[in-house]
Amino acid sequence: MIRIVAVLIIHRQRVLVGKRADNASSARGLHEFPGGKIERGESATTAATRECLEETGLTVCIDRPLASTLTDEEKFEIVFFLGSLTSGKESEPLKPFKWITLAELELCTFPKANSFVVNWLRQSSVIV
CB 74, CB 128: distance < 8 Å: no
DSSP letter, residue 38: P
What pLDDT, on a 0 to 100 scale, did the predictor assign at position 118?
Answer: 94
Q: Which fold has domain 2-123?
A: Nucleoside Triphosphate Pyrophosphohydrolase (3.90.79)
DSSP letter, residue 4: E
What pLDDT, on a 0 to 100 scale, did the predictor assign at position 26?
Answer: 75
pLDDT by position in tens, the chain (length 128): 899 999 999 998 899 999 998 887 777 889 999 999 999 999 999 999 999 999 999 999 999 999 999 887 778 999 999 999 986 556 899 999 999 998 999 999 999 999 999 999 988 877 65
What pLDDT, on a 0 to 100 scale, did the predictor assign at position 41?
Answer: 96
87-112 pLDDT, tens digit per residue, is: 655 689 999 999 999 899 999 999 99
What pLDDT, on a 0 to 100 scale, did the predictor assign at position 111?
Answer: 92
Measure Cα distances from 75 to 22, 26, 72 in Å. Answer: 22, 13, 8
Question: Which sign does the torsion angle of CA 88, 91, 96, 101 carry?
Answer: positive
In sequence order, the β-bridge partners of residue 8 are 82
CB 127, CB 101: distance < 8 Å: yes
Side chain identity at residue 82, one-letter code: L
What pLDDT, on a 0 to 100 scale, did the predictor assign at position 98?
Answer: 96
Q: Using only the alpha carbons of the chain, give its radius of gyration.
A: 14
What pLDDT, on a 0 to 100 scale, did the predictor assign at position 77?
Answer: 94
Residue of 73, 2, 1 whose CA lies nearest to 35? 2
What pLDDT, on a 0 to 100 scale, did the predictor assign at position 74?
Answer: 76
